[in-house]
Amino acid sequence: MYVCLRLGLSIALLLTACGGQRVEPETEAAAAPSAPQRLHVLGAFLEAHWQLPLALQGEPPAGFSELDRSLDPAVCGACHPEQYAAWRTSLHAAAYSPGFSGQLIEGALADPVEVRACQRCHAPLGEQQPYNRLGGPEASFDPALRGQGIVCAACHVRNHRRFGPPRRAALPALLEPPPHGGFEPRGEFQESRFCAPCHQFFDDPGINGKPLENTFVEWQRSPQAAAGRQCQDCHMPDRSHRWRGIHDPEWVRRAIDVDLIPTDLSGRRLEAALVLRNRDVGHAFPTYVTPRVQLVVYQVGAAGKELDATRLEASIGREVDLAAQVEIFDTRVLPGESVKLDYSLARAPGATALLARVSVDPDFHYRAVFDLLLESLEDASARAQIEEARRRISDSTYILAEIRLPLSD
């Protein structure tokens, strides 16, 4: 199914809330059904497992060593080096990034209640919270642990008990008792619903019927879900802890197809279609409001430079006005569907080829937010962190695909 973006030079550009530009499409991505009920989706174990922010671990069992008691990922890595090394490269490890932490220092998000709410997913352990549930200082707060984001214990440790997926059948039998009393195997670790507490806003009607985080519902409606494929099958292949996603060009290319289909390139008017297909992303592409995907087609001359007045472009993404609770547009591509940019313009003098490019800006929204914050922040520490965050994403945009069709003389 195509969501057609039929663009012409006369169509007005819409200036988005974040300063970007897009062309208004004729149709928008279908709205999701009402938000799911949390307990119904999660089940009793995960409902209890994911009470966010998480409760303090409490007193460790008698006989636990200092290593057994530790929540430091590096300590976990002593026995799980492969998982630790992968986690260190992941966005989970960077969840308490300068761009996140810098917003908790000054302004509305610096309120203790808001800090706890923001850290529910970004640094969820009780020991990572600077404030307790009453808004006072948390005696067990560990600033170093907080800075490590979504640590191993966030998924695997509750009340000093370890949990994880069932042990693989091919592994040899244990010859001695495992450390920290072993672990409790749970099949839920291999199911998409395990990821839902942070990647789905439950019991939230959202804007235009879609919560800001709606990834689990998008997956539920996908062909991948119908085939029994879970989030972990794509994002944790062979139980990898890298969680690769839209920031990784190679990963995205495995699931997205791009074609430039010529209709007529022989006459005075050039006709073609740039098609992007969500072949194997098991949710909307992109799933969240922060990325933006740009489709561009234009003519180039003999020197390879773009010729004036030959460009047509369109944006794929979702833009919302949070203050007004209004969805400005949603042109994301649902699983199994495609978006098409029709190109039909006169051939420019000196044109030698038609060039199409698809670029991905995974941090589009953040870039604009950071720029706005730098205009208003007064706290030196907050400014320094936001400046560092802005620097880190300055070159995160990448070209997903580029196709050139030569033109005959």
At 61-112, the pLDDT tens digits run: 998 999 999 999 999 999 999 999 999 999 999 999 999 999 999 999 999 9
Same domain flag for 177 and 62: yes
Same domain flag for 149 and 61: yes
Same domain flag for 89 and 158: yes
Of the residues 153, 171, 193, which one is the last residue of a structural domain? Answer: 193
**pLDDT of 25 over the 90 cut:** no
Residue 279 CA, chain-centre distance (Å), reads: 18
Residue 208 lies in a domain: no
The per-residue pLDDT for 17 is 29
Same domain flag for 393 and 285: yes
Cα–Cα distance for residue pair 162/225, rounded to 1 Å: 28
Of the residues 129, 161, 193, which one is the last residue of a structural domain? Answer: 193
Of residues 64 and 28, more confidence is placed in 64
Residue 356 lies in a domain: yes
Same domain flag for 22 and 93: no
* Lowest-confidence segment of 180-184, 232-236, 334-338 by average pLDDT: 180-184
Residue 386 lies in a domain: yes
The per-residue pLDDT for 36 is 64
**pLDDT of 178 over the 90 cut:** no
> Residue 334: helix, strand or coil by DSSP?
coil
The per-residue pLDDT for 176 is 80
Same domain flag for 270 and 394: yes
Total domains in the fold of the chain = 2
Residue 209 lies in a domain: no
Apex 395 CA angle, 374 and 146, nearest 5: 60
Same domain flag for 359 and 388: yes
> Residue 192: helix, strand or coil by DSSP?
helix
The per-residue pLDDT for 175 is 72
pLDDT, mean over the chain: 91
Please choose, from the candidates 183, 287, 293, 168, the residue with its C-alpha nearest in 3D space to the C-alpha of residue 235: 287
Per-residue pLDDT band at 37 (split at 50, 70, 90): confident
The mean pLDDT value for 142-162 works out to 98
Residue-range definition of the domain harbouring residue 330? 2-29+246-406
